[in-house]
Amino acid sequence: MQVYLVANPKGGAGKSTLATNLAGLLAHRGRAGGHLQVMLGDVDRQQSSRLWLARRPPVLPPILSWELTPGKAAKPPHGTTHVVLDTPAALHGDKLKECLKMAHRVLVPVQPSMFDILATQSFFEELAEMKAARGVPVALVGMRVHERTRSADEFLRFIETTGLPLIACLRDTQNYVQLAAHGMTLFDVAPSRVEKDLVQWAVIESWLGLRLPQTLD
């Protein structure tokens, strides 16, 4: 079972956007013949991902959630092959170490604002140390990045100091917001509608060792 961890201690960094769309990508790859059974779950107790999944139309490739049995620990449904874990704000220390023990790859969304940069600088240092110690692949994903702006330039300069790779910058678009409201992802609509976004996601897919499902061609 492959576990992808989406983490950033800063609230509003784009963790849920990244996590839900990654789960959507995996689910479509499974429908295209990849034989994947995908679970999206929260590390925290709120289980807010279940609210998004409740909006997901049943005709779309299924994305599962935790099996919740009263009095027992939450666990992935039987047969799950790929797990995407969304994490709460303020994740650090022992909780972060516990999450990293489960993870095969870690994606860190970060927005190009000075507030986000300052709030996450120590987290990146902690993450880089854990990456070196455990050998877990870690990559950054820029969220809502406006190209050719001063803030984008400052953001890229900051990223260079983290020692972590920036694999993609996702543009600021309402596609994510509008689709999320209906429990959908970029991979649930016609490619022509989200063509620019799929180009950006291709780099993430490559880093994860994935490719777009044939049904989207």
Query: Using one digit for the tens of pLDDT, what is the confidence trace for 114-168?
Result: 787 777 777 877 777 776 667 788 889 999 887 777 777 888 888 888 778 889 9
Judge whether 168 and 18 are in contact, CB under 8 Å. no
What element of type H or E holds 40? strand 38-42
84 compared with 93, residue with greater pLDDT = 84
Determine the average pLDDT of the residues in 16-42. Answer: 86
The answer, yes or no, to whether residue 215 has pLDDT greater than 70, is: no
Give the percent of the chain with pLDDT over 70: 91
pLDDT for the residue numbered 99: 80
pLDDT for the residue numbered 133: 60
The answer, yes or no, to whether residue 87 has pLDDT greater than 90, is: no
pLDDT for the residue numbered 212: 43
Collapse the DSSP code of 5 into the 3-class scheme (helix H, G, I; strand E, B; otherwise coil) and give the result. Answer: strand
Q: How many residues does the chain have?
A: 217
Collapse the DSSP code of 209 into the 3-class scheme (helix H, G, I; strand E, B; otherwise coil) and give the result. Answer: coil
* Lowest mean pLDDT across 101-115, 125-139, 196-210: 125-139
The answer, yes or no, to whether residue 33 has pLDDT greater than 70, is: no
Which pair of tokens denotes residue 179? 């689709």
Chain centroid to CA 47? 16
The answer, yes or no, to whether residue 216 has pLDDT greater than 50, is: no
Bridging pattern class, strands 166-169 and 2-6: unpaired
C-alpha R_g of the chain = 17
Pick from 60, 158, 70, 166: nearest CA to 114: 158
The answer, yes or no, to whether residue 90 has pLDDT greater than 90, is: no
Q: Which ranges of the chain would DSSP assign to H, the alpha helix?
A: 15-29, 49-55, 93-102, 114-134, 150-162, 174-180, 195-208
The answer, yes or no, to whether residue 70 has pLDDT greater than 60, is: yes
pLDDT for the residue numbered 195: 95
Q: Count Cβ neighbours within 10 Å for each residue of 17-39 and write b for 16 or more, e otherwise.
A: bbbbbbbbbbbbbbbbebebbbb
Task: Please work out, in degrees rounded to the nearest 5, the angle formed at the alpha carbon of residue 204 by the alpha carbons of 99 and 164.
Answer: 60
Determine the average pLDDT of the residues in 69-96. Answer: 81
CATH superfamily of domain region 2-216: P-loop containing nucleotide triphosphate hydrolases (3.40.50.300)
34-57 pLDDT, tens digit per residue, is: 677 899 988 876 667 888 999 999
Question: In the predicted model, what is the mean pLDDT of the chain?
Answer: 83
- The amino acid that residue 73 corresponds to is A
Pick from 213, 188, 212: nearest CA to 202: 212
Q: Where are the domains of the chain?
A: 2-216
